[in-house]
Amino acid sequence: MKRLKLGVLGSGRGSNFVALAAAVAEGKVAAEFVVVGSDQADAKILEEAKNREIPTLVCPNGKYRTKLEEEIEEGLAEQMVKSGVELLILAGYMRVVKRPLLSRFGGAMINIHPSLLPAFPGLRAWEQAWKAGVKETGCTVHWVNEVVDGGSVIRQIRVPVEVGDSAETLHGRIQKAEHCLLPEVVRDLAEGRIPWLKDPRKK
């Protein structure tokens, strides 16, 4: 089977990338990483990619905190295209995605989010759930569109909130579930077992 070409964007630790990279290395996911990018030059995810000899790129921060400037995102999107990315994965990427990435990767871009969407979109979703006192939360992989955390849900895992949990212990449990969910979804997209909104391999 031809391997699906993956691009990853992340702003932080990269534990989801590491889990996915392990599944790829073990032959569980028919895919290969063509590039890992970040808006943070010192993000651990870049170091994790370099350790695995995967090409990396960093884009400038720009003047906004929550989104990239249009020209910067344009450059990032062009580099992703040049690298041959077929599926773009947002794994802890903390910028709102705009037209430059959406016009090229809409229908072929997924995000992992630490709640059962549509509940608790936005930042620190585990803390939102913990503060709201829900008994159950979880994680979601969804298609990315122009609505923040609003694209259609692909798959979710439920995670219980336990007595005595802090926001951090809850996040730890959610992350364990994320590390199963993301590789499973990418495996099934690569094998065509999950329908794509727009599969770039079928032109």
Binding residues vs ligand GAR (CB under 6 A): 10, 12-16, 91-92, 112-114, 125, 175, 178
Rounded to the nearest 10 degrees, the angle between the axes of helix 15-25 and helix 167-190 is 40
- Sheet (strand 87-90) strand order: 56-58, 31-38, 4-9, 87-90, 109-113, 136-143, 153-160
Q: What's the closest the beta carbon of residue 186 comes to ligand GAR, in angstroms?
A: 14
Q: What's the closest the beta carbon of residue 132 comes to ligand GAR, in angstroms?
A: 16
Closer residue to ligand GAR, CB minimum distance, 15 or 137: 15
Q: What's the closest the beta carbon of residue 53 comes to ligand GAR, in angstroms?
A: 20
Q: What's the closest the beta carbon of residue 114 comes to ligand GAR, in angstroms?
A: 4
Q: What's the closest the beta carbon of residue 2 comes to ligand GAR, in angstroms?
A: 27
Closer residue to ligand GAR, CB minimum distance, 170 or 200: 170
Is 113 assigned a catalytic role? yes
49's CB contacts (< 8 A; 6+ apart) are 8, 14, 17, 33, 36, 55, 56
Residue type at position 88: L
Closer residue to ligand GAR, CB minimum distance, 92 or 183: 92
- The three-state secondary structure class of 8 is strand
Closer residue to ligand GAR, CB minimum distance, 28 or 44: 44
Rounded to the nearest 10 degrees, the angle between the axes of helix 44-51 and helix 15-25 is 20
Closer residue to ligand GAR, CB minimum distance, 38 or 76: 38
* Pairing verdict, β 56-58 and 87-90: unpaired
Which candidate in 113, 142, 171, 179 is catalytic?
A: 113
Q: What is the DSSP string of 108-177?
A: SEEEEESS-TTSS-SSSHHHHHHHHT-SEEEEEEEE--SSTT-SPEEEEEEEEPPTT--HHHHHHHHHHH
Q: Which residue is nearest to ligand GAR (CB)?
A: 92
DSSP state of 3: P
Q: Which residues are catalytic?
A: 113
